[in-house]
């Protein structure tokens, strides 16, 4: 992939991000044009929409035009280039606007038309033409090709189209004053989705907004960040809640069976094939969740793309097509941009899946959520195991400084084990698994806030608490490891009030 294509891909990612960054239509569209201008040098961009009622075409966002110029940019169907593209639905390229009589320059924004080319691409969604995107371009000193530009603009136009549809639904919802609206302004509260950090609240905000629509969602985030949980939440908050939620893990099914699994098969379609109803059909009226979509084999990607475009499936070995009314949510922990670059993932499919991207940040980037999650899981496991367990403040501190590579799943598992295994009702430092405790020596609490002798004591205490369980509370061995005499160690154990608990070592046995 050459340099230009890389810049282009980056710009497209940016575009998809800003499109859903707020629910201010004008602002989002302006940001799109700003990216086109700054990253791809497409100047004086405008987005026109077609109003079905008044049959008028007007500018909703423009970059490089004044308010006045924007107001002047009104067209009727068939009028000028913009009107023609709306009428025909075919992109147009004007190599030199000075020589093109059909180019009306109604906005009056180009006093000098010399050397300017003009590209105009329709915004279409399922054959319906919603508007056009147009940009000025100067090709003289550039190596880029018109075809490249048209391709990029077409992708941008299709993203805008999907966004405009979403916007329409949102407007209707807002007008109907669905409870959603009230909730949008407040905190986002779902009983099973815990997190008050700014970044997680932003996730919940998007979840709330998209739940009311049928928009295709792509969830990405590291393992254990809650992608599946969020997919389910979107489903159960949507009007499809009564319909099925069908989850498929694209990585778990062998490539040769995946197609039949997804789209169904007729008896005898291939050796050993039985008649089966595909998951898409089973999800009829509901939501299909394609987990680890980055693992979808290249051979199946065009087929999925077709299903998404046409909303029909064709079971293997069958000649009939079945209409499917399904909402698609997919998830990946791979960097799909990278997969596209490597040729493992089709760009066109990506743009179909990535209508609403939701990025779920890893736990280490939103540590404020840790105490809440700890509390939540402590409570729920205490319920399950009929115990009443609390945790030491120090433990919480360690939890806060640990990086949780396994994210919420690791945290939940850790707490479950602690609740199951603890014999007294308070979880202490030495109960923690070694992985989590690994952060102890690096604990940043030695920040100079305490006087030096206190810090030394703190370090001493932590080292001892860390070492004791390693030697199963054997005083002789622990003292030896720490370079103390038994007497010195016993003295310190007493001084710091450390409890000696012999017992099983939880984390050696079960992993």
Among 66, 223, 425, 445, binds ligand ATP (CB under 6 A): 223
> CA 121 to CA 132: how far, in whole Å?
5
Q: Which does 194 bind (CB under 5 to 8 A by kind): ligand ATP, Mg ion, none?
A: ligand ATP
What SS3 state is found at 65? coil
Comparison of 100 and 292: residue with beta carbon closer to Mg ion: 292
Alpha helices in 238-329 (DSSP H): 255-263, 279-282, 301-310
Residues 365-424 binding ligand ATP (CB under 6 A) are: 408-409, 412
Comparison of 258 and 493: residue with beta carbon closer to ligand ATP: 258
Helix axes 452-470, 486-495, angle to 10 degrees: 110
Residues 317-346 binding ligand ATP (CB under 6 A) are: 333
> CA 381 to CA 370: how far, in whole Å?
16
Comparison of 279 and 466: residue with beta carbon closer to ligand ATP: 279
Comparison of 192 and 390: residue with beta carbon closer to ligand ATP: 192
In 3-state terms the chain splits into helix, strand, coil percentages (rounded to 5) of 50, 15, 35
Please write down the HEC assignment for all residues of 180-238.
HHHHHHCCCCECCECCCCHHHHHHHHHHHHHHCCCCCEEEECCCCCCHHHHHHHHHHHC
**122 φ/ψ angles, rounded to the nearest 5 degrees:** -75, 145
Cα-atom radius of gyration of the chain, to the nearest Å?
Answer: 30
**197 φ/ψ angles, rounded to the nearest 5 degrees:** -60, 155
> CA 371 to CA 462: how far, in whole Å?
21
Segment contacting Mg ion (CB under 5 A): 58-66, 221-229, 297-305, 445-453? 221-229
- 253 lies in the site for ligand ATP, by CB under 6 A: no
Comparison of 94 and 219: residue with beta carbon closer to Mg ion: 219
Residue nearest to Mg ion (CB): 228
- 222 lies in the site for Mg ion, by CB under 5 A: no
Comparison of 367 and 501: residue with beta carbon closer to ligand ATP: 367
User: 43: burial class by Cβ within 10 Å (0-12, 13-18, 19+)?
Assistant: middle
Comparison of 109 and 233: residue with beta carbon closer to ligand ATP: 233
What SS3 state is found at 74? coil
**Closest distance to ligand ATP from the beta carbon of 232 (Å):** 8
**Closest distance to ligand ATP from the beta carbon of 292 (Å):** 7
> CA 276 to CA 238: how far, in whole Å?
28
Q: Which does 180 bind (CB under 5 to 8 A by kind): ligand ATP, Mg ion, none?
A: none
Provide the mask over 178-197, with x wherever binding to ligand ATP is found by CB under 6 A and - wherever it is not: --------------xxxx--
Segment contacting Mg ion (CB under 5 A): 220-228, 262-270, 299-307, 476-484? 220-228
Among 228, 266, 339, 458, binds Mg ion (CB under 5 A): 228
Q: Which does 224 bind (CB under 5 to 8 A by kind): Mg ion, ligand ATP, none?
A: ligand ATP
| Interface residue list for ligand ATP (CB under 6 A) | 192-195, 221, 223-229, 333, 408-409, 412
| Interface residue list for Mg ion (CB under 5 A) | 228
């Amino acid at each position: 992939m050459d340099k230009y294509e890389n810049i282009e891909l980056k710009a497209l990612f940016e575009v998809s991000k800003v499109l859903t960054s707020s629910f201010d239509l004008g602002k989002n569209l302006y940001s799109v044009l700003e990216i086109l201008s700054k990253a791809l040098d497409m100047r004086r961009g405008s987005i026109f929409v077609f109003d079905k009622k008044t049959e008028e075409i007007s500018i909703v966002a423009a970059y490089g035009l004044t308010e006045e110029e924007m107001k002047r940019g009104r067209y009727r169907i068939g009028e000028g280039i913009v009107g023609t593209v709306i009428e025909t639905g075919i992109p147009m390229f004007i190599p030199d606007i000075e020589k093109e009589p059909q180019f009306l320059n109604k906005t009056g924004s180009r006093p000098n038309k010399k050397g300017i080319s003009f590209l105009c691409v329709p915004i279409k969604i399922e054959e319906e033409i919603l508007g056009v995107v147009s940009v000025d371009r100067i090709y003289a000193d550039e190596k880029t090709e018109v075809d490249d530009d048209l391709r990029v603009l077409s992708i941008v136009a299709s993203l805008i189209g999907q966004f405009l549809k979403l916007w329409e639904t949102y407007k209707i919802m807002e007008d109907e004053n669905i409870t959603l609206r009230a909730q949008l302004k407040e905190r986002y509260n779902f009983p099973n989705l815990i997190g008050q950090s700014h970044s997680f609240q932003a996730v919940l905000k998007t979840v709330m907004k998209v739940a009311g629509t049928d928009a295709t969602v792509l969830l990405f985030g590291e393992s254990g960040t809650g992608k599946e949980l969020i997919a389910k939440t979107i489903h159960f908050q949507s009007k499809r809640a009564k319909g099925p939620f069908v989850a498929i893990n694209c990585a778990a099914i062998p490539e040769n069976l995946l197609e039949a699994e997804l789209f169904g098969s007729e008896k005898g379609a291939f050796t050993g094939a039985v008649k089966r109803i595909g998951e898409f059909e089973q999800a009829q009226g509901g939501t299909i969740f394609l987990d680890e979509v980055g693992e979808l084999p290249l051979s199946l990607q065009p087929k999925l793309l077709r299903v998404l475009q046409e909303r029909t499936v064709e079971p293997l070995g069958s000649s009939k097509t079945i209409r499917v009314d399904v909402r698609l949510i997919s998830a990946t922990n791979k960097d799909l941009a990278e997969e596209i670059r490597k040729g493992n993932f089709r760009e066109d499919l990506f743009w179909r899946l990535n209508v609403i991207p939701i990025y779920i940040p890893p736990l280490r980037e939103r540590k404020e959520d840790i105490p809440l999650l700890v509390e939540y899981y402590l409570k729920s496991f205490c319920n399950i195991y009929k115990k009443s367990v609390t945790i030491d403040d120090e433990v919480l501190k360690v939890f806060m400084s640990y990086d949780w590579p396994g994210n919420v799943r690791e945290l939940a598992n850790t707490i479950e084990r602690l609740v199951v295994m603890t014999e007294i009702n308070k979880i202490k430092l030495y109960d923690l698994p070694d992985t989590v405790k690994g952060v102890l020596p690096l604990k940043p609490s030695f920040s100079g806030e305490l006087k030096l002798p206190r810090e030394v004591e703190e370090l001493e205490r932590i080292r001892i608490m860390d070492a004791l369980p390693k030697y199963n509370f054997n005083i002789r061995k622990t003292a030896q490891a720490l370079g103390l005499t038994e007497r010195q160690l016993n003295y310190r154990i007493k001084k710091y009030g450390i409890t000696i608990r012999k017992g099983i070592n939880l984390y050696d046995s079960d992993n």
